[in-house]
Structure 1
């Protein structure tokens, strides 16, 4: 559907004809609830509670068809909240049955729940009716079908996020262990998760074990686990600090056992992260215009995969501003009469897409000459705050991405240089 933003609501409402049965479905883990209305908002039939299974889905389809036959309606549209992951299976099943499925914003469902009965009460049946009313009034969005590659990227990126959280958690616990048992280790290794520090924790984790060793013993231990190991000065410093350590000396057996488990968890997450990132890169290059997007200096494969996994096919967006709206990066303002509120970012969109767009832009500002010059001009000449400049550059990046994807053209740095004033 092509439209200007001011015409969007009208066009969404006009799609609902007097021949439509409008169904709202309240999504849950085990049992869903459906309510139906006509194009005027009049309730049709009784509520239906059905199971989250093929048998339940078939009962929903039979219920829809019987209501259509009873009211002489030949079209149906089903609205639902994209609640977690529970809505995915039913939406795909209905789509296979040639039933149009749309989604409504959960935030708007909460705001519209008093329209019918002017009470703040909440129930599954009421929520389903509120969803149907919202679809009738044009407060819905289409589900953009994504190809196999984009769906794969979305799942893999989500998996990577979980692994990264576990990796950060295990690293933080290793930091805590070191603070309790051997805090002086930080004077030898600035990064506790570097190869030398991890090798030391594997071989001789407690100060008592290190204090009884010679520098050559420490270096031979490092050599058994590392190709490039620290030198004798670090080994000597490690032994000296171990002899005067203030770390705890009680329950060392339990602490050593705890460290073994922490290192096992750390090794597992490192291995899983490498595997999932390899899968992400393999899937990423199956998308035709990816090579052209990666020609932009400063764009990493993981950041681009995160953007494509959350946004889907960029060539399907009419403009870069549509991508920003999808991410919730469009501007919102609250004003009334003489009072004018502050303009803020709406954040009504995909949070993970916002994060990857932000990270990609920050990388460009640090590594890409054109974006670095634009940022410097915004801050020094236009006197923008740094964050405001970054948000403006996110919009520039979104327009570049969508333009390259739609027109299948290569990134042209000269176009950006033309808009950077000489004063920059």
Structure 2
């Protein structure tokens, strides 16, 4: 492709009548490269696979004018393709969607990898990006990108609010830990700083000197907050440490700051808990969250749906696993045999919640626990975290089926006979067998017969 093919024209200089005649009755693809202030769009003719025009415009001043120009063309079919570039493309996507135009999503990774293959030049700029996005859509590597239902949008907003309070709590907790390292280093040795008892103590007194001067009051406070779960010897160690601390003596202003930090941690924690209850209540109104809740917990189920959508809308279990960044990748060359690792391309918060769900499953479910322990033993006890990730991958594939109405049974995740739990599940034959096969759910129970192809990944120690 020639360099001049990437020349763009500002939307105000486009000859609308001439463009209309050139595209009349054609199927047109509008590939868009979204920017914060400047946007480029390439108009492709599907029949000839040629770019008729590259339009540039200022966002937001000229966005509406561009949308009206493109949607007003006398074409037989108009499709818009763009990359998921944070939130900057959402206004454009909304304007096209509400006019009934189909909007498609192109993976940024695909367009990045195809840049040099496309025209033989390793350069990367906005007009080329818009052109390439349109081309990739024509080649069928895009996916329909409809607007999310309002219920999911509300849930996503609430999950975002919960995450905001969580981040603020942990950030201030880290700041408070740094302050305690300077003024009261013994405290974190005796009790975890994140415990409410410790935070309430710091909020009330601020400095170890203030605690030492009112030992009886501090003791009563700790007993009141800690209750029967807090042992007396821990209380006494904290009080003793306050009297003999090696830390610097606080000024009054420093004490005020430390008290404010503890109060803020407690406030954010309380707010996060209130929002979490709201998230769980909102999730109950969504069928997929309601179905997955008993398996991974209401909050985890709500987070998954809010971040990657309803699992039931994915075409396969492997697609859902991939959306979570749990699909496998390998880098090997010649004699170098690389390890299989997860891609981590999905939302990190989803993997965090799934990781915790996998840990709970390992602790509470005897089948999963035995499988996990045997896998760890096979690897010499060195890769416990990898074994947890393997459980995560199986659990993610299982959730795709659960969201579609299947009943979860942990025996169907593994070879139950080899684990000593019998060769046949107690569930009905119509229920799912969630067997991970390189990220795919390749085994189902239908008429009493099952089949799987997991040899490669079994040899790799991943199933």
Structure 1 residue 77 displacement after superposition: 1.3
Structure 1 residue 125 displacement after superposition: 2.2
Residue aligning to 1:99? 101
**2:55 maps to 1:47:** yes
Structure 1 residue 211 displacement after superposition: 3.4
CA contact (8 A) 1:50 1:57 kept: no
Give, in whole Å, the separation in 2 of the partners of 1:111 and 1:395: 26
- CA deviation vs aligned residue, 1:302-338 (integer Å, no higher than 9, x gap): 2222222223222222332121122232233456688
* SS of equivalent to 1:45: strand
What is the root-mean-square deviation of aligned Cα atoms in Å?
A: 3.2
Residue aligning to 1:399? 397
Structure 1 residue 342 displacement after superposition: 4.2
**2:67 maps to 1:60:** yes
CA contact (8 A) 2:187 2:238 kept: yes
Between the two structures, name the one with larger relative contact order (CA 8 Å, sep ≥ 6): 1
Structure 1 residue 220 displacement after superposition: 4.6
User: Quick one: which of 328, 331, 334 aligns to 1:331?
Assistant: 328
Structure 1 residue 292 displacement after superposition: 3.9
Stretch of structure 1 that moved more, 312-321 or 112-121: 112-121
- CA deviation vs aligned residue, 1:173-222 (integer Å, no higher than 9, x gap): 111111211223335x4112323322322232223333333x43433555
Give, in whole Å, the separation in 2 of the partners of 1:86 and 1:389: 38
**2:309 maps to 1:301:** no
Residue aligning to 1:228? 227
Once the two structures are superposed, the pairs formed by residues 84-233 of structure 1 within 5 Å of their partners are 84-115=86-117, 118-143=120-145, 145-186=147-188, 189-213=190-214, 215-220=215-220, 222=222, 226=225, 228=227
Residue aligning to 1:241? 241
Residue aligning to 1:21? 28
CA contact (8 A) 1:292 1:411 kept: no
- CA deviation vs aligned residue, 1:79-99 (integer Å, no higher than 9, x gap): 111111112222122122121
CA contact (8 A) 1:365 1:375 kept: yes
Q: Which runs of 5+ in 2 are unaligned?
A: 1-24, 422-463
CA contact (8 A) 1:146 1:313 kept: no
* SS of equivalent to 1:85: coil
Give, in whole Å, the separation in 1 of the partners of 2:272 and 2:58: 40
CA contact (8 A) 1:218 1:235 kept: no
- Compared CA separation, residues 410 and 289, structure 1 to 2 (3 A): farther
Give, in whole Å, the separation in 2 of the partners of 1:81 and 1:307: 21
Structure 1 residue 237 displacement after superposition: 4.7
Scaled by the length of structure 1, the TM-score of the pair is 0.81
Stretch of structure 1 that moved more, 141-150 or 35-44: 141-150
Give, in whole Å, the separation in 2 of the partners of 1:201 and 1:334: 50
- Compared CA separation, residues 391 and 209, structure 1 to 2 (3 A): closer
Give, in whole Å, the separation in 1 of the partners of 2:366 and 2:270: 35
Give, in whole Å, the separation in 1 of the partners of 2:231 and 2:333: 69
Residue aligning to 1:272? 271
CA contact (8 A) 2:371 2:419 kept: no
CA contact (8 A) 1:185 1:238 kept: yes
- CA deviation vs aligned residue, 1:150-187 (integer Å, no higher than 9, x gap): 32332322332232221111111111111211223335
CA contact (8 A) 2:289 2:302 kept: no
CA contact (8 A) 1:320 1:402 kept: yes
- Compared CA separation, residues 166 and 287, structure 1 to 2 (3 A): same
Give, in whole Å, the separation in 1 of the partners of 2:54 and 2:236: 81
- Compared CA separation, residues 335 and 144, structure 1 to 2 (3 A): farther
CA contact (8 A) 1:23 1:132 kept: yes
Structure 1 residue 253 displacement after superposition: 1.7
- CA deviation vs aligned residue, 1:99-134 (integer Å, no higher than 9, x gap): 111111222323333356544444322221222222
Q: Which runs of 5+ in 1 are unaligned?
A: 1-17
Give, in whole Å, the separation in 1 of the partners of 2:55 and 2:384: 53
Give, in whole Å, the separation in 2 of the partners of 1:222 and 1:375: 39
* SS of equivalent to 2:287: coil
Give, in whole Å, the separation in 2 of the partners of 1:77 and 1:32: 17
Once the two structures are superposed, the pairs formed by residues 371-390 of structure 1 within 5 Å of their partners are 371-380=368-377, 385-390=383-388
Scaled by the length of structure 2, the TM-score of the pair is 0.74
Give, in whole Å, the separation in 2 of the partners of 1:110 and 1:307: 27
Residue aligning to 1:11? none
Structure 1 residue 286 displacement after superposition: 0.8
Give, in whole Å, the separation in 2 of the partners of 1:157 and 1:88: 19
